[in-house]
Chain A
Amino acid sequence: MFDEMAVRFVFLGTLKEFAGHVDEVEAHGATLSEALQSLRSAEPALGDSICDEHGRVRELINVFVGGREVRSLEGERTRLRDGDRVIVVPSVAGGEE
């Protein structure tokens, strides 16, 4: 059902290693939630690194659509357009170290 809308997940930082050192992975969906579900079906470990068991984007993962972080849009319900690039970036770590 997601086949009509193809998007590309682009992985930066540490997540690139989870993606098998590839830069981009194709997925399908009209919303981010659907695209994440599609990604998770195809690449369970990679999907699990981005989302928790309820399909929510993990706290320290940032997802950008159209240059905006999805938490400032509609979160997992953010609508996607055919050909969108969904950029996934882990939070920058410095913290206590």
Chain B
Amino acid sequence: MTLAGTKLLVGTSKGAFIFTGDASRRNWKARGPFFAKDLGALGEVYHLAIDRRNKGRVFAAVNPGFTGPNVYYTDDLGANWKASEPPRFPKRSKLTAKNIWHITPGREGEPGTLYLGLDPFGLFLSRDVGEKWEVVEGITYHKDRREWNPGFGGPCLHTIALDPRSEKEMWVGMSAAGVYHTSDMESWEPRNRGIRVDYAPEKFPAFGQCVHKFALSADGRTLYLQNHGGVYRSEDRGRSWIDVGKELPSDFGFALAAHPSDPKTFYVVPLETPSRYVPEARPAVYRTSDRGETWQAMRSGFPAKAYLTVLREGMCTDGNDPAGVYVGAKNGSLYFSRDDGEHFELLAENLPSIVSVTAG
């Protein structure tokens, strides 16, 4: 029962919501908010994930502010939540877990495994469907760590991309440390060649990029990336990147999402700087269908004028055909498209400030 219908998980500054769509994805039923009261005034939920390998278990990254962060999970769409044993750094590290930024269920071939990205820069994994978490030492204690600097959101590991074809190959994104890759979960190397750092003396360093979000294409062969400045593509597993965002109205943005079945299509939401709302207050999702060579502004269904800000986890796609595209804004507006982004509709408004959307 839990798995029926498309699920849209929404993390906000005041708790989490779970929306369930009917077969047509026209009508949605909302549950929540969760964690808005029981964890006090600062129950921020940075991210949620649904694990369809494990009967649709939903995970929430809850950051109460005063107290330590934790993962909560539910097997009944929020009727009951259980806390994980909190992800905590080993004593020898002297690091203190501040916020959980990202949750990713593992691959089909590792059914009990999930991954977590933390502030301060940390990668954790669970081997028991989220009951307990252990630090992934290779990246968390990387030799480059002492040279990594925090972005404005803090020193966070916010993006985790798993190669579906290899159980040990993955990429992580950190602000402002850049993209790191591993093939064995032990040794990690920076993969940022070609990604520009406008604000640093060295424009193309080996690491130190303020990467905002990246995603693998549907076929797992191409990486698409929204940097602090520029939108990039890599055809060689992140070894080198080319800027494909020159046609966009702004090279700044946070969110990026890949199409679930067309490897050439992905989406970004450019934002102006320093205001960090959509350019000229004209909301649009920008879509490319040729891997970033050309872009279309998808405005249908958005207000003509609105000062929307879409954060790092504020856009996602679902696995349907045609694909659903979901956009949550800081002003509490939630939009969705049922046709690959051709047209958008308002799903909900006046929610608390939206931090993340996850469909599954």
Contacts and interface: CB of A to CB of B under 8 A. Distances in A.
Interface of A: 13-15, 17-18, 45, 48-50, 52-54, 56, 58, 60-61, 90-91, 93
19 contacts: A14-B40, A14-B41, A15-B66, A15-B67, A17-B39, A18-B67, A49-B66, A49-B67, A49-B68, A53-B88, A53-B97, A56-B96, A58-B66, A58-B67, A61-B67, A93-B41, A93-B42, A93-B65, A93-B66
Contacts of B332: none
A21 B38 CA distance: 11
A53 B85 CA distance: 12
Contacts of B67: 15, 18, 48-50, 58, 61, 90
Given A14-B39, A60-B65, A90-B66, 8 more contacts: A13-B40, A48-B68, A49-B67, A53-B88, A56-B96, A93-B41, A93-B42, A93-B66
Contacts of A53: 68, 88-91, 96-97
A33 B115 CA distance: 32
A96 to B, nearest CB: 10
Interface in B58-74: 64-68
B-side interface mostly: loop
B119 to A, nearest CB: 13
Nearest to A90: B66
Nearest to B353: A97
B187 to A, nearest CB: 26
B323 interface: no
B83 interface: yes
B94 interface: yes
A49 to B, nearest CB: 4
A49 B83 CA distance: 13
B96 A14 contact: no
Interface string B70-102: 000000000000010010111100101100000
Nearest to B43: A14
Nearest to A89: B66
Contacts of A58: 66-68
B262 to A, nearest CB: 40
A2 B83 CA distance: 29
Contacts of B41: 14, 93
**Which 8 A/B pairs are nearest by Cβ-Cβ distance?**
A14-B40, A49-B67, A53-B88, A52-B96, A90-B66, A60-B66, A48-B68, A53-B89
Contacts of A61: 66-67
Nearest to B65: A60
Nearest to B70: A48
Nearest to B86: A48
Nearest to B85: A44
Given A48-B86, A50-B67, A58-B68, A17 B96 contact: no
Contact of B66 (A14, A54, A56): A14
Contacts of B89: 53
Contacts of A18: 67
A79 to B, nearest CB: 23
B66 A91 contact: yes
Interface in B185-219: none
Contacts of B42: 93
B121 to A, nearest CB: 16
A43 to B, nearest CB: 13
B40 A90 contact: yes
A54 B94 contact: yes
Interface in B124-176: none
A17 to B, nearest CB: 7
B83 A45 contact: yes
A63 B223 CA distance: 48
B100 to A, nearest CB: 14
